[in-house]
């Protein structure tokens, strides 16, 4: 297969498997999505979705959030991990949203990445999932699969994002990054990987990855 044929195969297979999409993190607006994505760092979406209702019951907007202390926020979010950093980030970004953005979540990378505890991936998720702005957030699943599919070198997530944006049509970025995440979880996980179920990797996978897989299975 040529590189373009591989890309087309990925797009068509994912479209068949996931004709409709759901966003993994529960939220009701850009602010609650921003907080949920921030909480998801080094945690699972399942755990975050268990905690956010407790937090948002107390404060689901920046004005109510700043009325909580950092310690109160930390006590609620502690189960998701990294609570000292995340609680300070949530309180700090909420104050900045009020002071600089009239309490609204901004719609640019630069403004989002100026907020405490908000990195490039978090900003990309918010832009794509909250505002429909084309972005290609790269998480561990996308990074792993782009390497397995021989569509990226796997050196780092920055390079993986560049490769994804170069290979896939811009109008598909927002749905593709979600489709790849769901595919990675269901068919091509890091652990307990069954290549027979992973039709994309089995068809277009990097030769060294396939060789290593069969070596471990033998």
Catalytic residues: 121, 139
Q: What are phi and psi of 7, to 5 degrees?
A: -60, -45
What would the 3-class secondary structure string for 3-72 be?
HHHHHHHHHHHHHHHCCCCCCCCCCCCHHHHHHHHHHCCCCCHHHHHHHHHHHHHHCCCHHHHCCCCHHH
- Under DSSP, the state recorded for 114 is T
Residue 79 makes CB contacts below 8 A (sequence gap 6+) with 47, 50, 51
Rounded to whole angstroms, the Cα distance separating 153 from 110 reads: 27
Q: Which helix (H) or strand (E) holds 200?
A: helix 199-204
């Amino acid at each position: 297969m040529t590189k373009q044929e591989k890309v087309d195969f990925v797009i068509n297979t994912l479209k068949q498997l996931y004709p409709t999409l759901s966003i993994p993190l529960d939220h009701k607006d850009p602010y609650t999505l921003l907080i949920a994505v921030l909480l998801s760092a080094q945690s699972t979406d399942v755990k975050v979705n268990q905690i956010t209702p407790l937090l948002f019951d107390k404060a689901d907007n920046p004005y109510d959030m700043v009325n909580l202390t950092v310690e109160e926020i930390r006590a609620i979010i502690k189960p998701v991990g990294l609570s000292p950093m995340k609680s300070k980030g949530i309180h700090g970004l909420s104050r900045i949203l009020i002071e600089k953005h009239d309490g609204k979540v901004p719609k640019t990378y630069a403004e989002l990445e100026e907020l405490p505890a908000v990195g490039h991936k978090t900003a990309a998720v918010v832009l794509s999932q909250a505002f429909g702005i084309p972005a290609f957030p790269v998480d561990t699943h996308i990074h792993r699969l782009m390497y397995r599919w021989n569509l990226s070198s796997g050196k780092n997530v920055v390079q993986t994002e560049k490769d994804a944006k170069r290979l896939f049509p811009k109008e598909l970025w927002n749905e593709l990054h979600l489709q790849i995440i769901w595919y990675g979880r269901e068919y091509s996980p890091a652990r307990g990987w069954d290549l027979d179920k992973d039709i994309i990797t089995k068809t277009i996978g990097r030769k060294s990855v396939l060789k290593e897989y069969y070596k471990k299975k033998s």
